[in-house]
Structure 1
Amino acid sequence: MHRFLSKTLAAGLLMVSGQALSAPPPVYRQEVVVAGSPFQGVHGLALDGKGHLLASNLLGQSVHSIDLASGAVSTLVGPPLGGADDVTLGPDGSVYWTGFFSGRLMRRTPDGKTHVLAKDLPGLNSLAFRRDGRLYVTQLGRGEDALSEVDPSGRKPPRRILSGLGLLNGFEFGTDDKLYGPLLMTGRIVRVDVDTGSVETVAQGFELPVAVNFDSRRENLYVVDTMRGELVRVRVATGDKEVVAKLPTGLDNLTVGPDDQVYVSNMVDNDIRVVNPADGAIRPLVEARLSVPSGLAVAPDDPDESLYVADVYALRRVGGRDGKISQTTRVLSSRMTFPMHVSLGAKHVVLSSAYLGQVQVRDRTSGEELRTISNTNGVQGALELPDGTLLVAEATTGKLVRVDAAEPAGTTVLTEGLEGPVGLVADTEAEEPGVYVTEVRSGRVTRVRLSDGARRTVAKGLKAPEGIARHPDGGLIVAEVGRKRLVRIDPATGRSTVIASGLRIGLPESEGLPSGYLPTGVAVGASGTIYLSSDVESALYRFVPEAGKAQP
């Protein structure tokens, strides 16, 4: 009897995906799971000498000002112009910053006007002024490894000085007018004569040094080693090293005040801490719980509705009911990719990242990395099919591709002609198994049949749909980012119902980034509770169905 009832219930659930959903959707109550942050991963730092710390926010496309007395954060330059990897102040008080994705060098003059000084510099990363007012920048990543001089006024084109240094990151000039900085690839701190191009080693033996700054006497360099989570003091004259403080891994940059207090940013924890090098004491200046929450997944059989959150700089497990973060796997200190989407298979977690151009399969129990597949075609959503193959959305090519379960990982095109595919959710239990895809540029939700790649438009007229998930009743829950709302779509009729509107989702598109680059994630628990990530607020929300209440 029980077995019969179970089979009947299962059959009913399978049938619902092919039928119109007759019952009206419930009314939902919006609640905060994890409160937000002013940053989406904090990077370069600079003191303005007026009681404020400037902080660059690459993925949030902003430059911020932080009151050192209160820790209050304000936005100096907002998206999309403020996409800064590093930030510094010029001799006249202008603020300069580098656009890693846009390839633009930007300047905000004291009168509040913003200017583009240079462009077409992919991977633009660190910058610093020499005492004579000359400005230098590095490019690293995106196929570049170079040091160049740029005109602070923007009148002259950039002049490349050196290439192939080994990824020169956060640097500063000494009193000898030579550049001091870390080489990521070799674990060294070097001294560069920008006039002759000569390079000397100052200190070595670091795991992954990412930035340096001088102390107030200009005799010592403070170095952050992101892999070890260490703040290290280096005696420039001898190269001797001393660990000043142990911090969490994921450190990105630093700056040193006239009182020798060291301000350190951490992109994984999305925070800024202040270290007193005299005793190693650490205090928070700006705190956060999430960094860049994007893709979401929840196991359908999990009664606690524990969420997997692709937080770009970390993969986190978050309690859907209590918001507690129970597990964090950090980038750089592990072999994990920079996760932007996440999906769950029976035994595996699948991560995908357009940031690094990778799809990664990890063991759900141990967290062990099992496979990493390169994909530089703007990879978005990825999921594992029951036979172990992967299905991957390529935003750049408009294709859905299958990746073989066995190595070497061969690929075949399931379908093409999609317009900015972003989110994927499987419909493999149907009579004709398929997958639903959100197309961010066309505004469609499309069903693709797995047997032959045949496509059917489920819904159209949406504006920038990104995250998608299936409700237990068979409905599709979609983050319609362009209209700042969450909608429920009947997969049989295409009829949509608004669940919530006026949401804080959808950072503006930025030059150098594909549409839907930072996806707004959606997941649905077995209880019918809907979970949503906010890229604008770096927050996590849930929408709880109100018992006995239905929409008209």
Structure 2
Amino acid sequence: MKKKIVSVIFGFCFLVSGVAQAFTPTIPKVQDPAYGIRLIVTPSNLGHGTNGLNFDAKDNLYVTSVAAAATYLVNTDTGESSVYLAPPSGGADDLVFGKDGTVYWNAFFLGKVYKKTPDGKIVTLADDMPGANAIALGKDGRLFVTQCFLGDGLWEIDKSGQQKNRKIAEKLGGPNASMFGPDGLLYTPLWFKGQIIKTNVDTGERNIVAEGFKIPSATKFDSHGNLFCSDTATGEIYKVNAKSGDKAVVAKLSPHLDNIAFDSKDRLFVTNMNVNGVYQVDVPTGKVRPVVEEAKLCYPQGIAVANDPNGDTVYVADNFAYKKIDAFSGNVEAPLNGSSFTNTASISADGNYILMSGWFTNKVQVFDRKTDKLLYTVSGFKVVAGTLMLNDGSIVVAEHGAGDIVRVTDKEGTEKTVVTSGLVSPTYIAPAGQNAIYVTEYTPGRITKVDLNTGEKKTICTGLKGPKGIAVKPDGKIIVVVAGSHQLLEIDPDSGKSKPIVNNLAVGQPGEVRGGHPAYSFTGVAVSNSGAIYVTSDLENTVYQIFPK
């Protein structure tokens, strides 16, 4: 039997089993009486993907979130969290505490390294280190940082902030969360090589410790000198013999593990960036205890919707994974064939494909909607944003870096044509009838119509405060998410006049990426054939369904 959209406003209070979270979701305000609103996914607030973690001398746990640009203090017994390092500089991928209580961390997207002394003074130690990733202190107190993803290197950092930082090595293969071993060497997992290496930070000499991992994400030692490694691709934690390279699985969790840390009692903790997870792992038994409640979505951005026999199926680019949601039940599924580090989403004109793209990878990925398999990838864009497949199978792509709309007519990406230029921070794309598209331009706050045949541009609406996601209703009216005013607006494409449908949406995650898109997060909107509107909340990790009454 076909499921129908239930025209009832669900309460915005949730009972979360197991772990207490001091969190009250934002309550949107419906302005158009023709609509109601409900959440189809339980919201959460512990960042947008948990990344680094470490303990201070008092066994307090600190958990970082790069995308949320913040670091949190987490109670390991109750799971309650509070902001420790606030945005925009708190977006660490790793942090470490000195013996005097000074905390050192990196701001991954800002390309900076900081320290905060016990008296609260903050000092910038490096300000041109994109992708600053692992951070480690040697026994002698010297500080070292790696670059990964947005760079690839190993540096010694001057802790005073007065001297030039020293580059030790580069092009290592993706050095991630590292730690010094009992032998005084730095042990580092190489994300792109499947290896653990050890480095003499004085001479730069490197040797392979172990290999055969799929994607090793962290290497840490317990107090007895035992080496452990997490594998983000398999979700496994290994105990590694640092001399022979032999390894044994001690625990199996879900994929997307990021970092591990031991407290003073040698209890192992690990993060999972795909579900905002923090877990305690009992090494002897492999038993896993969730410290915080898993989030169904950790950083939803792009969204698409398809009308299936049993109701609407919603597709979400959840930053680290491709996920789909049953709009009736709210069930969230992360297909195993999904890809990592996605940012935006759109659905093709014929409904057979899902397109995802993101400035982090500068790729467009095309998925088969029925099998969820990744079919092909097109690379080589300049800060890619929204994308859309047309009826003829070609793809149009918004490039912030060039201010262009590009049309791609082959799967290899060799046949690219610039449709139009001169756009300012183009963000999302929506169809505008035959051979035309609507584009949101984030910085100037306007919506532009582009003729795909001639490249001619026409301004539809101006004065918007940070427009992001855009879609078209069955009646031809434009729907746009305006992040700066936290609104969902309906716009008449002929007159340009707008009216609010919903106010006070939990959208507009602040952030900054050196060389990235100024919109930072890509709040999305999609409209089903039934007229139901779906909006992602990049602040509270949920999806709104705005349904016609």
**CA 407–237 in structure 1, closer or farther in 2 if over 3 Å, else same:** closer
**CA 386–455 in structure 1, closer or farther in 2 if over 3 Å, else same:** same
| One-letter amino acid matched to 1:318 | I
Q: Partner of 1:136 in structure 2?
A: 144
Q: Deviations over 1:264-297 (max 9, x none)?
A: 1111222111110010000111221112100010
Runs of 5+ unmatched residues, structure 2 = 1-30
| One-letter amino acid matched to 2:223 | S
Q: Is the 8 A contact 1:51 1:68 kept in 2?
A: no
Q: Is the 8 A contact 1:303 1:526 kept in 2?
A: no
Of the three residues 445, 449, 462, the one matched with 1:447 is 449
Q: Aligned equivalents of 1:31 and 1:78: distance in 2?
A: 30
Q: CA deviation at 1:539?
A: 1.7
Of the three residues 523, 530, 536, the one matched with 1:533 is 536
Secondary structure (helix, strand or coil) at the match of 1:34 reads: coil
Q: CA deviation at 1:245?
A: 0.7
Q: Is the 8 A contact 1:337 1:360 kept in 2?
A: no
Q: Aligned equivalents of 2:102 and 2:437: distance in 1?
A: 51
Q: CA deviation at 1:385?
A: 0.6
Q: Partner of 1:76 in structure 2?
A: 84
Secondary structure (helix, strand or coil) at the match of 2:291 reads: strand
1:207 and 2:203 equivalent?
no
Aligned residues: 514
Q: Is the 8 A contact 2:114 2:125 kept in 1?
A: yes
1:126 and 2:131 equivalent?
no
Q: Deviations over 1:214-272 (max 9, x none)?
A: 11212x11100112221000122433321101111111111012222211111122211
Q: CA deviation at 1:381?
A: 0.5
Q: Aligned equivalents of 2:520 and 2:418: distance in 1?
A: 22
Q: Aligned equivalents of 2:108 and 2:235: distance in 1?
A: 24
Q: Aligned equivalents of 2:392 and 2:204: distance in 1?
A: 55
Secondary structure (helix, strand or coil) at the match of 2:484 reads: helix
Q: Partner of 2:339 in structure 1?
A: 336
Q: Aligned equivalents of 2:419 and 2:408: distance in 1?
A: 10
Q: Partner of 1:361 in structure 2?
A: 366
Aligned pairs (5 A) from 1:232-247: 232-247=238-253
Aligned pairs (5 A) from 1:229-308: 229-286=235-292, 287-300=294-307, 304-308=311-315
| One-letter amino acid matched to 1:221 | L
Q: Aligned equivalents of 2:233 and 2:504: distance in 1?
A: 40
**CA 90–498 in structure 1, closer or farther in 2 if over 3 Å, else same:** same
Q: CA deviation at 1:412?
A: 0.7
Q: Is the 8 A contact 1:359 1:374 kept in 2?
A: yes
Q: CA deviation at 1:439?
A: 0.5
Q: Aligned equivalents of 2:102 and 2:477: distance in 1?
A: 52
Q: Aligned equivalents of 1:247 and 1:282: distance in 2?
A: 8
Q: Is the 8 A contact 2:177 2:189 kept in 1?
A: yes
**CA 399–51 in structure 1, closer or farther in 2 if over 3 Å, else same:** same
Q: Partner of 2:27 in structure 1?
A: none
Runs of 5+ unmatched residues, structure 1 = 1-23, 548-552
Aligned pairs (5 A) from 1:478-517: 478-512=480-514, 513-517=516-520
Aligned pairs (5 A) from 1:329-408: 329=335, 336-345=339-348, 346=350, 347-405=352-410, 407=412
Q: Is the 8 A contact 2:299 2:319 kept in 1?
A: yes
**CA 511–240 in structure 1, closer or farther in 2 if over 3 Å, else same:** closer
Q: Is the 8 A contact 1:260 1:276 kept in 2?
A: no
Q: Is the 8 A contact 2:59 2:264 kept in 1?
A: no
Q: Aligned equivalents of 1:137 and 1:57: distance in 2?
A: 17
| One-letter amino acid matched to 1:535 | D
| One-letter amino acid matched to 1:265 | T
Q: Is the 8 A contact 1:310 1:341 kept in 2?
A: yes
Secondary structure (helix, strand or coil) at the match of 2:372 reads: coil
1:54 and 2:62 equivalent?
yes
Q: CA deviation at 1:357?
A: 0.7
Q: Is the 8 A contact 2:378 2:412 kept in 1?
A: no
Q: CA deviation at 1:360?
A: 1.2
Q: Aligned equivalents of 2:298 and 2:283: distance in 1?
A: 27
Q: Deviations over 1:486-541 (max 9, x none)?
A: 11111111110111222221122314132123111111223322211111112222
1:104 and 2:109 equivalent?
no
Q: CA deviation at 1:193?
A: 1.2
Q: CA deviation at 1:89?
A: 1.4
**CA 335–537 in structure 1, closer or farther in 2 if over 3 Å, else same:** closer
1:323 and 2:325 equivalent?
no
Q: Partner of 1:17 in structure 2?
A: none
Q: CA deviation at 1:300?
A: 4.7
Q: CA deviation at 1:93?
A: 1.3
TM-score under structure 2 length normalisation: 0.90
Q: Is the 8 A contact 1:301 1:526 kept in 2?
A: no
Q: Aligned equivalents of 1:540 and 1:156: distance in 2?
A: 48
Q: Is the 8 A contact 1:337 1:358 kept in 2?
A: no
Larger Cα-atom Rg: 1
Q: CA deviation at 1:27?
A: 4.0
Q: Deviations over 1:126-154 (max 9, x none)?
A: 11001111000011222x32111001221
Q: CA deviation at 1:397?
A: 1.1
Q: Is the 8 A contact 1:51 1:69 kept in 2?
A: no
**Larger displacement relative to structure 2 (260-269 or 275-284):** 260-269
Superposed CA RMSD: 1.8
